[in-house]
Amino acid sequence: MRTYLFPFVAGCAAWLSVAAGPARAAYGPAPKYAVAALPGALRENAHAVVRRHEETLLVKSVSRTVETVRRAVTVLDEAGARWATELVYYSQLNSISYFRGSVYDAEGRLLRQLRPADIHDISLSDGFSLASDARGRVADLSQPSYPYTVEFEYEVVSDNPLFYSTWRPQPVEQLSVEQASFRVLMPTGLALRYQELHLPAGAAQARHTQGSQEVYEWQVHDLAAREEEPDGPSVADVTPAVLTAPTQFEVEGHAGQLSSWADLSRWTYELNAGRDALPPALQARMAALVQGETDERARIRKVYEFLQTTTRYVSIQLGLGGWQTFPAASVAANGYGDCKALTNYCKALLGAAGITAHAALVRAGSDEQDIRTDFPSSQFNHVVLCVPLVKSARPDTVWLECTSQSNPFGYMGGFTGNRHALLLLPQGGRLIATPRYGATENRRERLADVYLDAQGNATATLRTLRTGLEYDAVATLPSLDLPEQKKHISSRLPLPNFTLTKVALRPTPPGAAVPGLTESLSLTLPALAPPSGKRVFLTPNLLSRLSAPAASVGERQTDLWLDHALTQTDTVRLHVPASLRPEQLPAPVQLSTQFGTYSSQLQTLPDGTIQYIRRLQLPRTRFARTDYPAYLEFRRKISAADKAQLVLLKTDA
Amino acid sequence: MITRVAPASWRGALAGLVLCFPVLAWAQEVPVRFGKLDAQEAAQLLARPAPDSAAAEVICDFGQSTIKGGQDGFELRFERTARLLIRRRPGYEHATVRVVLYHDPKNGSREQIQQLKGITYNLTGKELSKDLLRTEAVFSRKLNDRLDEYAFTLPNVREGSILEFTYAIRSPFLFNLQDWQFQQAIPVRWSEYRVQIPSFYRYKEMTRSYWPFAVNTSGAAQYTTTYREKTQDSYGATNASSTDKAYQISTQALTRRWVQQDIPAFRPEPFLTTEHDYLSRVDFELERIQFDPNRDPQFVVSSWAQIEKELLEKEEFGQYLQQNSPLASAAAALRSIPDPAARAAAARQLVLQAVGYSGSASLYARATPKRVLETRQGNAAEINLLLVRLLREAGLEAQPLLLSTRNHGRIQTELPVLSQFNYVAAHVRLPGNQELVLDATDPTLPPELLPENCLNDQGRLLGSAGRWVALAPSAPNLRYTHARLTLEATGTLQGTVRQEYAGYAASEHRQPVAALRQQWQQAHPDWQIEKAEVVATDLTRPVALTLAARLPGAEATAATLYVRPTAQLGLPANPFRHPDRLYPVDMASPQRLEYMVELTLPEGYAATELPAAATLALPNEGGRFVFSVSQPTAQTLAITSRLHLAKTHYSAEEYQALRELYARALAKMAEPIVVQRQ
């Protein structure tokens, strides 16, 4: 605090000199957070400014922590108004000891304080869970005019010290930070583990002892607002943060160490151990199911198919149940369970079939970054099953997603692929990589036949194969009924004017390295290329136009993250009436860069058909920010080539 | 919400009805009996083809409501039994059922779910297995102060499972006669609802449906029930030892029965108000309680006058309107503004500055005006009733105007029922038969525009001159692009683009220049913006974003250039994407899309082919498209394009023409101009 006392006081003084006048009463609380005191640099590009953010984690014991937060935010405009609302989470294992709030006007005068009646208690159930104890208290201090400052203070006592705080004072774009601090108070004899990320110099304070407590402290100040950039890390990935984690903890009597991934693996394994007993009849059924099947993969597949046809996912998240599985016998009886229960059950089924499998913790989500592999801590939200193939010549693994009734065998996809998972083993497991899906796996291959008539109306057939992560976007299509399929496909086709007349979907037969779906469509395209005088114009790249990223204002700040690898191949055959012949064919384009390769080409076939072939390959790579202009150039050239236009001349005109 | 009638008021009246009649059962056979499915019937159900290849279907959904005597009063009894068939895995979600129950936070009385049972049937060969719902699979959670949710899920659900569940709800809230929704997100083979109401209660019905009723009948039945009350000792006190006294009551009852058969799954379409307006359903509102036909009813809600009287007596409406607010003197000071419309706008401005909208539409004020002004936040009623009050302080004739927002659903004007409304605005009568409808929840709108969500047909004006007031949009949603562009010999377009958003489009775009620039850039990724400016922050004027921008062409010059200025300035996709339409199109405001492009050709080039002018019109003045290209000088072209949808409602029959108008307009605007080197 010492460091920031000066500017803070100076700010108040400045305000006093501006606003002091006869109208102001000589009593009442001193103004706080006057907006005039804000340095201009913090207002730039910001919708809100964190004036003061003080977070304290008090570790009372291995089994209890107390988190205290006080955060004052000046809301500058409507887009910053989300900061005027605070939500404090609680559940069976986390309780709120207090929750207070105040709001100040632009001059820093107190407008009002939260009353208990202003705080609403809400269920935070995700809407699909059958049961969840997640609840929140929420308060809204938003005001009709800007700027104003809200201040929230709350304390949460947690009996789940598996999770310590993560301090991230600048989590999103267009938010600046005047000052923020984080303190962790540890009881003597209990060590804190922490990881500092992107901290400016001088942020970490000297560790000191205060009574019987060891105090760790970090401070940052004057962090200018950031802007999210396309194809780059999120703001939370580049701003200061301190992650903390326990070395020892105890949740509802389950004690654990946590200094390595092996420790976390062992504790989680033990918490869930002994819950895999199956009814004898079911055990016998599994043994019979795989009897005579010698191929290791085929044996696993049979059990997985049994799981998929006889169970479904139902989320129940109550207390320790968030981490501990329901017994396998309960899934056997009810035919449903959450991710832990279904994974545990599948593991038990495989066991009964003589196959060893391990549960593996993962941070799932197609938008989620991988866990921080260099900081062992509880960073996971999902569990999958990892089945090592023992008979395979080289190390090989089958990964099973046990919560889906339609997920292709062995496929992790964008939800759990391309990241790390923690194997749960009695002796303590390690992190291993889940399957990688790169440009070879993520393919979109399209063949289009377009039949144009002399009036410019067209019909077309499209056949599109999507595999790997490209498949993810269409994975649920076959499960929809036909009218819904049409609706989904129609809203995705980037055509101005069409009617979908036929839809057929064919999944790639099982056994392929990655799953795929072939979509065959018939369309009518009225006025696709109406004659204009004696010419007809048509962009042969009907469906795969890739536009360049929007030009950014100012210099690129963050590195270039090209995480979504893909290969696109398009063949378009234009069947035109004999009365039309091409006046000019756009020149072929060939681009080969470190960011990827692109080619497009048009040619007239002997039968008069005009054939367009386009190929784009983007690998999964990352580059320094200085490479961004070259990347932009690459994308602009693709965008220009994708729009190239074919001109047909009427020979009978 | 209607307040309960105090038991004491009807106890005496009942005495005349206490007679004895034999109890009559429901005359009609029930369409489904819980737990009575056998293997043969299951096999028949499974053999039928799934309608529309649906993943699940409702075989039968059957509900009954009646009123029964209970302890010290009457209560509603609702019973529901449903049978579903799960055909494919995506249908599994229908194995989880959620029931919402109401309770009174003040006196603690609550609705209760009872006799909950469920069965999953699975047919293997000729063997029909049954798995029973376990009570540990029933969970409750609190949704808010008045509502709890009970959720349960059936066990062992697979493809081909037939599910049954049944439950009853006992409710002391006689205003809450359970509504019934016939149509669902999955096809329904049979949906039936029966209601039996003894003559001393009367409910208003609101049925809406795009599908025919297979049965819609009324009848009369003998009705008998028993109610108990504690006897009092000679001191007027009840105690544990006192015995209950039972009364048997018999009277006539109204019976109602509705059936819908083979209803397809409900699929939301674009441009609907709310699903509620399109789903087949019946809703109820308590209208009258009268135990003795020779005396006045205990409770009546049957006329607008009655509703108004009641609203005005309510603490959360009329009393709120009566309370003084700290803004009163500021409002009174507005009397110095001579023009009443300007004065009304100034009063609205007072409210806008003092209170922000919490985003919750409401007919009732939950806090006092004083508290609303302290917190500087309010719901729609808190804000607009305050506005009514301030308009009156300012010397204007103002009344509350009740309305239903678009996402709350359409009003049925013939039914004087309060639950149809969820919002209140302010109505001002001006001299010379003029009127104003004002709202102070959205500071981005000028005073004469109501929020789009309020543009829902009609609102009900309170006060002595109570009547319906049309809520028609007073401005369109207009997007106007005016560009002055120079074409270069490479095909590059360069110049100024003035993008105007007027009427309702302006409200969405009252944003800082940086945000507008970013939006435009995202919609026009190929353009390079050199400069962006926004003029006019005045609410009465359109938002105008002026850009200096450039659309790069080829690297080399070309002898022939093809330019599509309107298309290059950005055409929307056809909003009417889907070829078929079942429900009418309902938009809040008329849509207008206009372009005016002045194009200067490169030196030494001339336009050799111009798209032909076109005019297209919808029948009955429903809309129009006008396109033309003119050549004011040899070196310049002027392109004008206007697409107007004049109406806000189009029937499903008009849909094809509407879609076609858009399609042809878009194709026309994309036609190229051919420019050649001379």
Q: Does B562 touch chain A (CB under 8 A)?
A: yes
Q: What pLDDT score was predicted for residue B677?
A: 94
Cβ atoms of A520 and A449 within 8 Å: the answer is: no
Residue B39 lies in a domain: yes
Q: Does A532 touch chain B (CB under 8 A)?
A: yes
Which residue of A122, A314, A492, A583 to mutate against B (max B Cβ within 10 Å)? A314
Q: What pLDDT score was predicted for residue B292?
A: 79
Nearest to A219 by CA among A200, A198, A238, A203: A203
Q: Same domain, yes or no, for B338 and B453? A: yes
3-state secondary structure of A413: helix
Q: Does B377 touch chain A (CB under 8 A)?
A: yes
Residues 452-511 of chain A with CB under 8 A from chain B are 476, 479-484, 486-487, 490-491, 496-497, 499-500
Q: Same domain, yes or no, for B502 and B642? A: yes
- Could you tell me the strand order of the sheet in which A596-604 lies? A499-507, A516-525, A458-467, A443-452, A566-575, A610-618, A596-604, A589-593
Name the pLDDT band for A10 (thresholds 50, 70, 90): very low
Last residue of a domain, one of B470, B490, B513: B470
Q: What pLDDT score was predicted for residue B238?
A: 53
Q: What pLDDT score was predicted for residue A56?
A: 98
Burial class (CB in 10 A: 0-12, 13-18, 19+), A394: exposed
Structure tokens at A143: 């005001």
Report the residue from A131, A491, A500 with minimal CB separation from B139: A131
Q: Same domain, yes or no, for B282 and B347? A: no
Site of tokens 């360069």: B494
Residues 535-554 of chain B with CB under 8 A from chain A are 552, 554
Q: What pLDDT score was predicted for residue B233?
A: 57
Residue B2 lies in a domain: no
DSSP single-letter state for residue A171:
-
DSSP single-letter state for residue B611:
P
Nearest to A444 by CA among A617, A211, A246: A617
Site of tokens 């989470």: A89
Q: What pLDDT score was predicted for residue B137?
A: 78
Total beta-carbon pairs less than 8 A apart between chain A and chain B: 146
Determine whether the interchain pair A144/B443 forms a contact, defined as Cβ–Cβ distance below 8 Å: yes
Residues 282-341 of chain B with CB under 8 A from chain A are none
Integer Cα distance of B652 and B645 in angstroms = 15
- Residues A51-98: tens digit of each pLDDT: 999 999 999 999 999 999 999 999 999 899 999 999 999 998 999 999
- The H-or-E segment that residue A340 falls in is helix A339-352
Which chain A residue is nearest to residue B567, measuring alpha carbons? A496
Report the gap between the CA of A242 and the closest CA in chain B (Å): 32
Annotate A306-325 with b (16+ C-beta within 10 A) or e (fewer): bbbebbbbbbbbeeebbbbb
Alpha carbon of B116 to those of A127, A132, A455: distances in Å?
A: 22, 21, 65
Q: Does B14 touch chain A (CB under 8 A)?
A: no
Report the gap between the CA of A218 and the closest CA in chain B (Å): 34
Q: Same domain, yes or no, for B292 and B378? A: no
Determine whether the interchain pair A479/B90 forms a contact, defined as Cβ–Cβ distance below 8 Å: yes
DSSP single-letter state for residue A237:
G
Residues 138-177 of chain A with CB under 8 A from chain B are 140, 142-145
- Residue A287: phi, psi to the nearest 5? -60, -40
Integer Cα distance of A66 and A158 in angstroms = 6
Report the gap between the CA of B580 and the closest CA in chain A (Å): 10
Q: Does B142 touch chain A (CB under 8 A)?
A: yes
Last residue of a domain, one of B421, B449, B470: B470
DSSP single-letter state for residue A372:
-
Q: Same domain, yes or no, for B97 and B146? A: yes
Spans of chain B, pLDDT less than 70: 1-27, 231-243, 301-302, 536
Question: What DSSP string runs through B407-433?
Answer: TT----TT---GGG--EEEEEEEETTT
- Residues A569-591: tens digit of each pLDDT: 999 999 999 999 998 788 999 99
Name the pLDDT band for A27 (thresholds 50, 70, 90): low
- Average pLDDT value over all residues in chain A: 91
Structure tokens at B162: 């037939």
Q: Which positions in chain A touch B608 (Cβ < 8 Å)?
A: 533
Determine whether the interchain pair A336/B157 forms a contact, defined as Cβ–Cβ distance below 8 Å: yes
In one letter, which amino acid is B654?
E
Q: Same domain, yes or no, for B482 and B438? A: no
Q: Which positions in chain B touch A307 (Cβ < 8 Å)?
A: none
Calculate mean pLDDT across residues A606-623: 95
Q: Same domain, yes or no, for B139 and B169? A: yes
Instruction: Assign domain A443-650 to its CATH architecture.
Output: Sandwich (2.60)
Q: Same domain, yes or no, for B187 and B262? A: yes
Nearest to B479 by CA among B641, B626, B613, B656: B641
Q: How many CB atoms lie within 10 A of CB A97?
A: 10
Give the domain range for residue B542.
477-677
Least confident segment among A115-129, A180-194, B87-101: A115-129
Per the rule left: phi > 0, alpha: psi between -120 and 50, beta: everything else, B294 is alpha
- Residues A536-551: tens digit of each pLDDT: 889 999 999 998 887 6
Q: How many CB atoms lie within 10 A of CB B545?
A: 23
Pairing of strands A420-423, A358-362: antiparallel
Report the gap between the CA of A587 and the closest CA in chain B (Å): 12
Give the residue range(s) of CATH 2.60.40.3140 domains in chain A: 2-251
The domain that holds B388 is classified in CATH as: 3.10.620.30
Nearest to B93 by CA among B179, B186, B191: B186
Residue B52 lies in a domain: yes
DSSP single-letter state for residue A19:
H
Nearest to B614 by CA among B675, B661, B656: B661
Integer Cα distance of A58 and A584 in angstroms = 74
Report the residue from B54, B377, B674 with minimal CB separation from A481: B54
Check whether the bond before B447 is cis (ω within 30° of 0): no
Q: Structurally, how many domains does chain B consist of?
A: 3
Annotate A434-463 with b (16+ C-beta within 10 A) or e (fewer): bbebebbbbbbbbebbbebeeebebbbbbb
Last residue of a domain, one of B470, B505, B524: B470
- Residues A304-348: tens digit of each pLDDT: 999 999 999 998 877 776 778 999 999 999 999 999 999 999 999
Report the gap between the CA of A75 and the closest CA in chain B (Å): 14
End-to-end Cα separation, chain B, in angstroms? 78
Q: Does A132 touch chain B (CB under 8 A)?
A: yes
Question: What DSSP string runs through B213-233?
Answer: -SEEEEEEEEEEEEEEEE---
Residue B402 lies in a domain: yes
Determine whether the interchain pair A312/B159 forms a contact, defined as Cβ–Cβ distance below 8 Å: no
Integer Cα distance of B367 and B380 in angstroms = 12
Q: What pLDDT score was predicted for residue B433?
A: 87
Report the residue from B265, B560, B579 with minimal CB separation from A499: B579
Give the residue range(s) of CATH 2.60.120.1130 domains in chain A: 443-650
Q: Does B355 touch chain A (CB under 8 A)?
A: yes
- Residues A368-398: tens digit of each pLDDT: 889 999 999 999 999 999 999 998 888 899 9
Q: Does B666 touch chain A (CB under 8 A)?
A: yes
Q: Which positions in chain B touch A101 (Cβ < 8 Å)?
A: none
The domain that holds B553 is classified in CATH as: 2.60.120.1130
Integer Cα distance of B516 and B506 in angstroms = 12
> Is the domain defined by A2-251 classed in CATH 2.60.40.3140?
yes
Structure tokens at A543: 């469906």
In one letter, which amino acid is A194?
Y
Cβ atoms of B300 and B306 within 8 Å: the answer is: yes
Q: Does A281 touch chain B (CB under 8 A)?
A: no
The dihedral sign for the CA sequence B168, B169, B172, B175: negative
Determine whether the interchain pair B53/A406 forms a contact, defined as Cβ–Cβ distance below 8 Å: no
Q: Which residue has the higher pLDDT, A584 or A519?
A: A519
Q: Does A309 touch chain B (CB under 8 A)?
A: yes
Residue B61 lies in a domain: yes
pTM for the model stands at 0.88
Cβ atoms of A280 and A347 within 8 Å: the answer is: no
Residue B4 lies in a domain: no
Per the rule left: phi > 0, alpha: psi between -120 and 50, beta: everything else, B23 is beta
Residue B661 lies in a domain: yes
Determine whether the interchain pair A142/B356 forms a contact, defined as Cβ–Cβ distance below 8 Å: yes
ipTM above 0.90, yes or no: no
Residue A28 has pLDDT above 70, yes or no: no
Q: Same domain, yes or no, for B446 and B595? A: no
Determine whether the interchain pair A123/B143 forms a contact, defined as Cβ–Cβ distance below 8 Å: yes
The dihedral sign for the CA sequence B641, A528, A642, A650: negative
**Torsion angle (degrees, nearest 10) of CA A341, A347, A353, A354:** -150
Alpha carbon of B532 to those of B351, B498, B505, B535, B572: distances in Å?
A: 33, 10, 19, 10, 22
> Is the domain defined by A260-433 classed in CATH 3.40.980.20?
no
Residue B62 lies in a domain: yes
Q: Same domain, yes or no, for B505 and B445? A: no
